[in-house]
């Protein structure tokens, strides 16, 4: 089926899935309160629905969590309703990948990390970075303001909210260090900038991005990736070969396996509990290992021709063709629009 037809069927199935979930009597995410109760999160029969690429167009992507029998039952019924044009996958619980607060002290062991966990000057994409009271995530990209409200000539580091802020208590001006505190970064020696802007995350509100900016003290940076400079963006269509460079797993390759995924439920720990995200991108590894792990949050996900597609923020415990889990990304265009910035050229 074509994209418009797939979207229409997805909308119809979403209503059907909600009705089945309500009939099941199992607790929903909205009923869990703040902070989210972990037991309720495990039992909640939430399904994520999106579009999965096929050679002849699109199928309906149906994602449910392993270990939730009600969710499995609902997924089967939704798949039967969708007919043959369906791509059903199970995952473990989906969690934000890194940037957890409070800081782990002493620093965690990073010897097994394939990415850059040490001090990097000039700053470059893929290195460890974080709010001074957070653990560690990844510096995804360098950007400039488009709205005239930024500092003239300033360069900002783009990463996730849970990497550069990490708590609803975070405020503009908070110190950001590189490497992140879990990798030994400390104030003032490792300060590289300050928290400048963020898209708030709020329990009970459906989100589209997990993103924040740090205003850098030194605008002289190295904005190159393994594929060269990444200065343009595109909307993910599904099926694209992609890559990323992250603090934990380094440079990895994958493929976009679903787009426009709604009702992706992501665990954020005690302060925020579980949050729903709409219009997300799913990536699976095309290598022997996972596409991402904890600490890779904030990585820019790009096509092999150097065009940015997404901002990595979460991953599942299981799933994917190699069983190493699935990765979830915010559409990069939405991220940049919400923050009022463009990629550094």
pLDDT tens, per residue, the chain with 345 residues? 899 999 998 998 888 877 777 776 554 544 444 434 444 544 455 788 999 999 999 999 988 876 666 676 777 787 787 777 889 888 888 999 876 554 443 344 344 688 999 999 999 999 999 999 999 999 999 999 987 665 667 999 999 999 999 999 999 999 999 999 999 999 999 999 999 999 999 888 999 999 999 999 999 999 999 999 999 999 999 999 999 999 999 999 999 999 999 999 999 988 888 899 999 999 999 999 999 999 999 999 999 999 999 999 999 988 888 888 999 999 999 999 999 999 999
Residue 157: beta bridge partners? 142, 214
Omega of the bond prior to 278 within 30 degrees of 0, cis? no
What pLDDT score was predicted for residue 244?
98
Torsion 304-296-299-220 (CA) sign: negative
What pLDDT score was predicted for residue 110?
47
With 0-12 / 13-18 / 19 or more C-beta atoms within 10 angstroms meaning exposed / middle / buried, residue 46 is buried
- State the helix-helix crossing angle for 69-82 and 3-24, rounded to 10 degrees: 140
In which element (H, E) is residue 41 found? Answer: helix 38-43
- Could you give the 3-state DSSP secondary structure of residue 232? strand
Q: Could you tell me which of 334, 337, 345, 339 has the C-alpha nearest to residue 236? A: 334
Which backbone phi and psi does 200 adopt, to 5 degrees? -60, 145
- CA–CA separation, 144 and 223 (whole Å): 12
What pLDDT score was predicted for residue 67?
64
Residue 330: beta bridge partners? 311
Which backbone phi and psi does 49 adopt, to 5 degrees? -120, 135
- CA–CA separation, 297 and 293 (whole Å): 8
Q: How many of the other CB atoms lie within 10 Å of CB of 20?
A: 19
- CA–CA separation, 267 and 329 (whole Å): 15
Task: Detail the DSSP E strand segments found in 20-155.
Answer: 48-54, 57-65, 86-91, 94-96, 128-131, 137-138, 141-145
Dihedral of the CA atoms 87, 91, 97, 103 (nearest 10)?
170
Structure tokens, 259: 């787009």
Q: Which residue, chain included where needed, has tokens 């029998």?
A: 69
What pairing do the DSSP bridges indicate for beta strands 137-138 and 341-343? unpaired
- CA–CA separation, 175 and 130 (whole Å): 9
Q: Could you tell me which of 253, 250, 170, 246 has the C-alpha nearest to residue 213? A: 170
In which element (H, E) is residue 4 found? Answer: helix 3-24
Helices (H) and strands (E) in the chain, counts: 5, 23
Omega of the bond prior to 10 within 30 degrees of 0, cis? no
Q: How many CA atoms lie within 13 A of 228 on its CB side?
A: 8
Structure tokens, 160: 């996730």
Which backbone phi and psi does 17 adopt, to 5 degrees? -65, -40
């Amino acid at each position: 089926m074509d994209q418009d037809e797939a979207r229409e069927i997805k909308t119809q199935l979403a209503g059907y899935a909600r009705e089945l979930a309500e009939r099941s009597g199992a607790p929903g995410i909205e009923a869990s309160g703040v902070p989210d109760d972990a037991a309720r999160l495990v039992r909640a029969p939430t399904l994520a629905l999106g579009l999965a690429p096929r050679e002849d167009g699109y199928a309906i992507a149906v994602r449910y969590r392993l270990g939730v029998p009600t969710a499995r039952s609902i997924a089967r019924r939704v798949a039967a309703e969708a007919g043959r044009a369906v791509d059903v996958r199970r995952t473990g619980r989906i969690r934000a990948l890194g940037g957890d607060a409070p800081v782990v002290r002493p620093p965690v062991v990073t010897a097994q990390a394939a990415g850059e966990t040490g001090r990097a000057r000039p700053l470059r994409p893929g290195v460890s970075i974080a709010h001074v009271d957070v653990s560690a995530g990844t510096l995804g990209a360098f950007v400039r303001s488009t709205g005239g409200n930024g500092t003239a000539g300033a360069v900002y580091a783009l990463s996730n909210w849970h990497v550069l802020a990490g708590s609803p208590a975070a405020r503009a001006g908070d110190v950001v260090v590189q490497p992140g505190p879990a990798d030994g970064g400390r104030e003032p020696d490792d300060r590289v900038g300050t928290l400048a802007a963020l898209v708030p995350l709020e329990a009970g509100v459906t989100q589209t991005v997990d993103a924040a900016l740090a205003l850098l003290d030194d605008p002289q940076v190295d904005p190159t990736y393994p594929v060269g400079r990444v200065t343009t963006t595109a909307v993910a269509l599904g099926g694209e070969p992609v890559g990323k460079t992250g603090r934990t797993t380094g440079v990895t390759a994958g493929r976009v396996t679903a787009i426009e995924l709604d009702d992706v439920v992501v665990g954020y720990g005690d302060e925020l509990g579980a949050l729903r995200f709409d219009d997300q991108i799913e990536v699976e590894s095309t290598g022997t290992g996972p596409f991402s792990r904890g600490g890779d949050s904030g990585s820019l996900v790009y096509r092999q021709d150097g065009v940015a597609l997404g901002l990595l923020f979460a991953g599942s415990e299981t799933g994917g063709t190699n069983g190493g889990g699935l990765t979830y990304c915010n559409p990069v265009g939405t991220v940049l629009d919400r923050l009022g910035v463009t990629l550094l050229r």
